[in-house]
Amino acid sequence: MLTDFFRHTAATVFILKCTLFSAFSQAEATSVHLSVITSANPQSNALQSFIITPENALLKEGIKHASKQQTIGQQTPFVIEYTQKAEKNQQLQWQIKVADKQHGTINVLSEFKGKGRMLNSGFKWQSSKLDGSVKNRQRLVFRPRSFKHQPSIYKKGKGPGGQRRKYGGGTRNINELKYNPEFGYIVTLSILDKDKIISNHKTHLKMDYKDMIRQEYINHYDIKRYGRGKNGHIPIPKRDEISDIPEKPRSLKGNPLTESKYGLIINDGLLGLADKINSAYQNKLRHYKETGALKDLQKNKLKIPNNKLWLTSGWRNPERNEWYSNAVNGIHQRGGAIDLVIMAPSNSLEAAIGYWILWQALQQKKSEINAFWQLETNGRPMTTREFKQDIEPANGIPDAFDKADHLHANVLY
């Protein structure tokens, strides 16, 4: 009988524990009782996503060449409201956890009191226990504080004395500390009765990839260009300017249209531009192979190599651009620029002939392609003189085509 008693007691305790655990787990997950506003943008708000713009800053939004630009300022504060009726004898206690200490603190706009402190895992703020006399206790309103891009000073390229500077930062990946901005805020509302928690209601506010990309542009907006050239403020992309990566046609060989790890792209006609240039080049190459009409500066007939064009670069998100280039306002960030190389050994006769044919093809189809392009070497464009002279090497081909290591092209901005 004693054994039966213990069995009956254990079963009762197990059922009671399951009932309590089930009820608490259900309460823990009832974020359906929290109404959440994170953004004035309906698409961001539907995903509880957002961007953070600096206080008192006015930024240009609309990155594509045909976009109608508009100005954006500080974004809507976060508003989380408990939609159930709280009993007067119950207490409410709000908690906000910033998911990463690199992303700083918050500014609570609600009138009720609370305290915050920095932990190793991030910033944590908690309100006092709010009884029925506290006005608007069912609504929490707060803003993220502005995030400083790390490192804050852009230093890359060559210094005043010609010495090589170290990379200023940037990353090829996502979610790297100090770089890609995956902001996250875990908000918890605890309902208490006689100082005991009877239910918890949670919601997780977190940037999706589209807003992470937009935040990269915001974080990089005021970084100054090092060296010659103006400081360029690249506009912030709108959400609908960020899309899935299109498939490259088989005829276009080379790297992906973007090396960003987001799986998304800003495509401002870069695929169409690459296809036009490739088609013009292939047609011109075929023409010279069939006619043998290409001659060097001494009127000697040139052997036409069977070189292909290779896409080396397309869209770069700002972090990727910072990792790769010292042009902080580089136009590849706008989604309408590409780099192409002739597939031949560098500075070889085959490569020089290829770039010469490519250049002629572009000049012939200038009105149809309707873009800007230039041959470059080590990041600098060829000079007018180099298109005319044949000095190094003296091989009957203008120096510009001997020295070129790639073609840069972009839609007209």
**Measured between alpha carbons, how far is 209 from 96 in angstroms, rounded to an integer?**
22
**Measured between alpha carbons, how far is 321 from 170 in angstroms, rounded to an integer?**
7
Torsion of Cα atoms, 278 then 281 then 282 then 288, to 10° = 180
Q: With a threshold of 0.75, does the pTM exceed it? A: yes
Helix (H, G, I), strand (E, B) or coil at 391: coil
How many whole angstroms from its chain centre is CA 153?
19
**Measured between alpha carbons, how far is 388 from 407 in angstroms, rounded to an integer?**
18
Cβ–Cβ < 8 Å for 88, 59: no
Tokens 């005043």 sit at which residue?
A: 160
Digitized pLDDT (tens) for each residue of the chain, 413 residues in all? 434 433 444 444 344 333 333 333 333 444 799 999 999 999 999 999 999 998 888 999 999 999 999 999 988 999 999 999 999 999 999 999 998 777 778 999 999 999 999 998 889 999 999 999 999 999 999 999 877 666 554 455 444 555 544 545 677 788 776 678 888 999 999 999 999 999 999 999 999 999 999 999 998 887 665 544 455 688 999 999 999 999 998 889 999 999 899 999 999 999 999 999 999 999 999 999 999 999 999 999 999 999 999 999 999 999 888 877 767 778 999 999 999 999 999 889 999 999 999 999 999 999 999 999 999 998 889 999 999 999 888 899 999 999 999 999 999 99
72 forms beta bridges with: 59
Burial 130-162 (b: 16+ CB within 10 A, else e): beeebeebbebbbbbbbbebeeeebebbeeeee
Give the start-to-end residue ranges of the domains of the chain.
33-220, 242-410
Burial 299-314 (b: 16+ CB within 10 A, else e): eeebebbebbbbbbbb
